[in-house]
Chains A and B, each alone.
Chain A
Amino acid sequence: MKPKVGDELPELIKHPTTRQLVQYAGAQGDFYEIHYDQDFARGVGLPGVILHGLLKAAFLGQLVTDWLGEEGTLKTFEVSYRGTDVPGRPYRSRGRVTKVEGPHVELEVWGEDPDGNRTTVGSAAVEMGG
């Protein structure tokens, strides 16, 4: 693989459910109630239970590692959470190559809700050639 500036990563679409949020809460050990208790979530001004930011980060991480495979090494990975996402709505992870300098490749990554809002934005740096 020879990445070029502007290359798009194959998109990754996830269909998060309340079941997955509970599964993730257990696997991460994050038992903050906004991720599984609807009344609690509404009580703090949210529309209902929301996805863990770090679950969305994991989706974007998979986007990058699926694309990269064993052809390089992930060096940095950064995400900012700009909006909340609720289960029952597909979550679309996308990315593109923004810089190539020898083996050093930088990517822009983002996650979109079904309305096209970029609720998570971030970047990654990889070193090609393992």
Chain B
Amino acid sequence: MATTSVVDRLRSRIGSTAPSISATVEAGHLKRFAEAIGDPNPRWLQEAPPTFLVALVPASVHLDEAEEYGRGWLNGGNRFEYIEPVRVGDRITATGRVADVYEKSGSSGSLLFIIFETEYTNQHGRAVARLRGTAIRR
């Protein structure tokens, strides 16, 4: 099967860490994000709503070669852990790693699962949140 080698190559990336990315939480971005999700709570003018960190920096380590597998991407799920609130002006650094890669066969054919984990730290070097996500190629 042609896709087997793709799976093997991706599996060799398990445990690898992507270069850290830093970004500042800007008031305008928070406002546009809250408007886009349709949440009018004024709290989100100053503080990040629960899913905002995915908008601050790319939510997952992007593995281009995964696109050799299947036809498209699906998001399987996301798990957020919150340690400290993230507020306007915070400088957040995200470090992502590939936690697992595996193939599963389902009723509609085989699927490739990529599990990624991201840790977010603030300008004081304290962890503020963690994200675990499942990206699926189908």
Contacts and interface: CB of A to CB of B under 8 A. Distances in A.
Nearest to B40: A62
Interface string B70-89: 01111111111110000000
Contact of A77 (B50, B59, B73): B50
Given A45-B71, A53-B75, A65-B50, A27 B80 contact: no
A78 B32 contact: no
A70 B26 CA distance: 23
Interface string A56-71: 0111011011100000
A76 B51 CA distance: 11
Interface in A30-73: 30, 32, 34, 44-46, 52-55, 57-59, 61-62, 64-66, 73
Contacts of A75: 81-82
Contacts of B82: 73-77
A129 interface: no
A66 B54 contact: no
A73 B76 CA distance: 26
- How many chain B residues sit at the interface, stated as a range, is 20 to 34
Nearest to B56: A29
Given A76-B80, A77-B82, A55 B50 contact: no
A77 B79 contact: yes
Nearest to A52: B75
Interface in B67-107: 71-82
Contacts of B33: 27-28
A26 to B, nearest CB: 7
B39 interface: yes
Contacts, number: 98
Nearest to A55: B37
A88 B136 CA distance: 25
Nearest to A75: B82
A27 B75 CA distance: 18
Contacts of B79: 76-79
Interface of A: 14, 20, 23-24, 26-30, 32, 34, 44-46, 52-55, 57-59, 61-62, 64-66, 73-81, 122
Interface of B: 29, 32-33, 35-39, 41, 43, 49-51, 54-55, 58-59, 71-82, 134, 138
